[in-house]
Structure 1
Amino acid sequence: MADRRRKDWGVTLVLGAALLLLAMAATWQSWFSELDNLIYDSFIRQMNTPVLDDIVVVTIDSKTLATLGRWPLPRKLHAELLEKITEGKPAVVAMDIIFSEPDLRHPQYDRELVESVRNNGRVVLPVVLERYSSGPELRESLPFPELRKAAAALGHVHIELEADGIARSAFLMAGLDRPVWPALSLAMARVAGDWPESKGFPRSGKTPVYTDMSPNVWRVHRQVLIPFPASGKDISKLSYADVINGDIPANRFYNKYVLIGATAAGLGDNIPTPISAHGRPVSGVEFNAYVLNGLLQDRLIVPVSVQWQYLFNALLILLMLLLYRPRGWGWVYGISLLLLIVLGMDYLLLSGFGYWYPPVVMLVSIVLFFLAANGHLLRKLLRVLFEERRLSQTALTAIGEAVIRLDERGHILKFNPMAEKLSGMSSVEAEGKDVDDVFRLVYSDNGRRFSLQHYLAGEHADFHHVLALKNSQGDEYQVSVALSTVPGGNGDRRTMVMVLSDVTKEHALASEVTHRETHNVLTDLPNQDLIVK
């Protein structure tokens, strides 16, 4: 009997060691990252993250363009807007607008803008990562020199998409060759005095020190995950046009964190996030506002390092071995309860303490241990493994935009159900086909065909356009098109993520507003001043 018990425990220890090695390999290689992301997104939607009243976003929306004219707006308007905001004595103002080159046609507008920035004294301007049109080299796009000197600080606005095309994190520091620029949100908090440099950095993941010293590389540091607000909550937004026209009192900005940026279709970035499933597309300026909202409340989420994941996994596997009994079924209840404990503790760690521990490696280890200890259930293991790919697609199914993954040649790897709707073609039918053959995009104004191939060849930077789409079934849409590069890891080739958002209703509304502004309500004829011109 004693020999049999020693044999049983010997087999158990060997199984435990095998599971530990498997867990370490899975953690190092991120085998279950898609399933981890699915759980993370579900947790984020359940968290009750508050939205601060101290943050205000002034949006360049469709109303602004219909009222003040086409983009780009004259810089004198930006100067006038900033003067009106300055009257209210805000804590800090961030202009998420690129002013990299002087306005050679209207130098007086530049002077007005510089003077307005200087008068405010608390303006933060963006540092933008761009790619030269003549090749793959990168560059940092900074404000033109006079404006740069007048600004209180600069902050990077770079946003990275993960492999599934969704943005969940930000980097508090980034830069070309060296991560010297703070994130726009961190720069704002420093200028306002709520997070002085002497206080150091908010809690964040320590990015490994880079050993590759190659030049022309965008380097990031101090990763944080964003605690997006739950459905029904949002950052306070005001229309740029309403502020310019004096419809918003100046005291509305008193001691506020004010961000100014584009949200109109075709202008603002179109960023899929874990909350996009609620029909809330996120622009770049809104994304930065969410980062700021988490930073000011010290609620930014820190991803648990790989080393700590190793330790947690080892402790949980040890606990699982202690629960195991070679005879009887009492241990099964303990192992089953451990599954719920891992998920429950993980949610508590995320919502209560602001740390994210990817749990799927441990969950799979528990399931494998249970199956290995019950030989008659091993046949079901293959079914579980084959289900992983199907489950990992659930995250993309919930996203309200069409997300399409492409290889370097512009061939479709996969896309979600919303992309099937817009293309009129199933994902299986489209797989391997050229993206231009599946999504027939044309310019709205002249009907000329739009091709993605020269963008994919690396001759242009990531871009955003509003185009017309007619699918194989004859349905027509107006879509906002965003194309972003996802760098390959471990020697893998890069892939591209294309996001299409149906803006047909918004486009029709903007056209209707413009028509009403220029035509008589009763006769539907052009206004007299247009006829005179």
Structure 2
Amino acid sequence: MDTIIKYLRLLLLITLSAYTGADIGFFAAHKLPVVDDFFYSRQFPIRGSNVDNIIIVGIDNNTMERFGILRYKRSVYAEVLAKILEGGPKAIAVDIFFDGVRDIKDDLRLIKTLNSANGNIVLAIYVNEAEKFLLNHDNITSKEYFNGNELISLGSVYGVVKKSSYGGITKLLLTPQFDKEGREYYPLPIVALTKYLNADFDAYPYGYEDNATIGGISIPTFTDKYLDRYMYINYTGGPEAFNLVAFEKVPQMNPEVFKDKIVLIGTVGDSMSDNHQTPISKTTPGIVIHANIIHTIINKRFISPMGRDYQWLFVFIVMIAAFILFYYAKNKISIPTALVILVIVKLTIDLMFTHYGIYVQFFPFIVSTWFVSTCAIIFRKSNNC
């Protein structure tokens, strides 16, 4: 009878410790914003496949040595765009701002190049400054100069990425933004993909409550407290992970390189201001973030966080096993036991992420293991007294 009572007490303590430990782990992860497990656990992304269809034309250090610091003459961009268009790319996304008229004669060279495109160019824009955009200027939008080319698309680049609590960019906002006139704008990489896939983007498709769709691709989306919908960015790497071409070298290149590709034009130089903190680097160029977003979508490398209830259950089950291991472990191997448990859990979580795109928080396991191990050791010592 005493043996039965002893094991019932042990079972009750195991359950209470594991339950409490799981709660404390998730509470700590929620209340400590400096701990961003998603950010830290994505420091070493797995190199993705199928990057050949993405080309980054980067304004790098060599380009700046040749042309100087930005801004360049619009005719310089016109020359590069003209060469790329010769190759017949499916989409061109330009992450450079052409706000306002600078030199009307020089600007017209860019306008004529844009007019010669076949509806596959997307230009970056700040939605709240749409009235300053080059193509919206009274002198430029007249039929004499621009012919009202509606095939030129605009994609928003401000406020379309969401930062983690640590400050790094980990999400893409998929909810459209609106300018003062009520016109809606989707993120630059999304608009570029509509050109590349020749398909519309639907952020709220019927029958897909938690998904957006584009070209037959279903994108898992999530909603924050402001009801904005977003997707997680699955980074595959920095500029070196993609086909990178120096901006200055494009006019001398064989345009066939760009055939059927999605071409992204932006800054990649060290001294550029368009650098952001991401899980892969503290200075990731904005155009590289766009490339990673596009790569995530066209290769369907989506990240889907495990539901909170399932994550809690996962922690609870592991903590039951942890309590039992600590209870029967000797004092000398208590710390190694904790390390082994955490290593196994971390490897399991990383395996789930790299193979299935399922993201599970790791930080709750650390806190819960500490709490449960303490309970197990105290209970073991009290029983030995």
TM bucket (normalised to shorter chain) is 0.7 to 0.9
Which residue does the alignment assign to 1:521?
none
The one-letter amino acid paired with 1:239 is: A
Which residue does the alignment assign to 1:364?
367
CA contact (8 A) 1:128 1:140 kept: no
Which residue does the alignment assign to 1:243?
250
Matched, 1:123 2:121: yes
CA distance in structure 1 between the partners assigned to 2:68 and 2:318 by the alignment:
65
Residue 328 of structure 1, CA deviation: 3.9
> Using CA pairs below 8 Å that are at least 6 residues apart, which structure has the higher relative contact order?
2
Which residue does the alignment assign to 2:52?
53
**2:101 partner SS:** coil
**1:22 partner SS:** helix
| 1:2-81 pair list within 5 angstroms | 2-30=4-32, 33-34=35-36, 37-41=39-43, 43-44=44-45, 47-50=46-49, 52-68=51-67, 71-81=70-80
The one-letter amino acid paired with 1:234 is: A
CA distance in structure 2 between the partners assigned to 1:23 and 1:319 by the alignment:
12
The one-letter amino acid paired with 1:207 is: T
The one-letter amino acid paired with 2:27 is: A
CA contact (8 A) 1:129 1:141 kept: no
Which residue does the alignment assign to 1:478?
none
Change (3 A) 1:67 1:323: closer
The one-letter amino acid paired with 2:244 is: K
**1:89 partner SS:** coil
CA contact (8 A) 2:39 2:168 kept: no
CA distance in structure 2 between the partners assigned to 1:288 and 1:251 by the alignment:
23
| 1:420-439 pair list within 5 angstroms | none
Change (3 A) 1:82 1:370: same
Which residue does the alignment assign to 1:183?
187
Which of 109, 113, 116 aligns to 1:112? It is: 109
CA distance in structure 1 between the partners assigned to 2:268 and 2:338 by the alignment:
49
Residue 193 of structure 1, CA deviation: 1.6
CA distance in structure 2 between the partners assigned to 1:70 and 1:316 by the alignment:
52
CA contact (8 A) 2:125 2:154 kept: yes
CA distance in structure 1 between the partners assigned to 2:132 and 2:221 by the alignment:
26
Q: CA RMSD in A?
A: 3.7
Residue 346 of structure 1, CA deviation: 0.8
CA distance in structure 1 between the partners assigned to 2:33 and 2:269 by the alignment:
38
| 1:207-286 pair list within 5 angstroms | 207-208=223-224, 210=226, 220-229=228-237, 233-244=240-251, 247-276=252-281, 281-286=283-288
Matched, 1:352 2:355: yes
Matched, 1:157 2:164: no
Which residue does the alignment assign to 1:339?
342
The one-letter amino acid paired with 1:236 is: N
The one-letter amino acid paired with 1:91 is: K
**2:352 partner SS:** helix
CA distance in structure 2 between the partners assigned to 1:83 and 1:154 by the alignment:
19
CA contact (8 A) 1:96 1:261 kept: yes
CA contact (8 A) 1:269 1:283 kept: yes
Residue 265 of structure 1, CA deviation: 4.4
**1:203 partner SS:** strand
CA distance in structure 2 between the partners assigned to 1:151 and 1:377 by the alignment:
73
Residue 130 of structure 1, CA deviation: 6.4
Residue 82 of structure 1, CA deviation: 1.7
Change (3 A) 1:11 1:185: same
CA distance in structure 1 between the partners assigned to 2:167 and 2:225 by the alignment:
26
Residue 12 of structure 1, CA deviation: 3.0
Which residue does the alignment assign to 1:487?
none
Bigger Cα displacement from structure 2, 169-178 vs 253-262: 169-178
CA contact (8 A) 1:170 1:226 kept: no
CA distance in structure 1 between the partners assigned to 2:33 and 2:5 by the alignment:
39
Residue 163 of structure 1, CA deviation: 4.2
CA distance in structure 2 between the partners assigned to 1:179 and 1:170 by the alignment:
20
CA distance in structure 2 between the partners assigned to 1:369 and 1:31 by the alignment:
23
CA distance in structure 1 between the partners assigned to 2:77 and 2:232 by the alignment:
32
TM-score by length of 1: 0.57
Which of 286, 289, 293 aligns to 2:291? It is: 289
Unmatched 5+ residue regions in structure 2? 203-212
Residue 369 of structure 1, CA deviation: 0.6
Residue 38 of structure 1, CA deviation: 2.6
Unmatched 5+ residue regions in structure 1? 132-138, 212-219, 379-533
Residue 272 of structure 1, CA deviation: 3.2
The one-letter amino acid paired with 2:173 is: F
The one-letter amino acid paired with 1:55 is: I
**2:126 partner SS:** strand
**2:278 partner SS:** coil
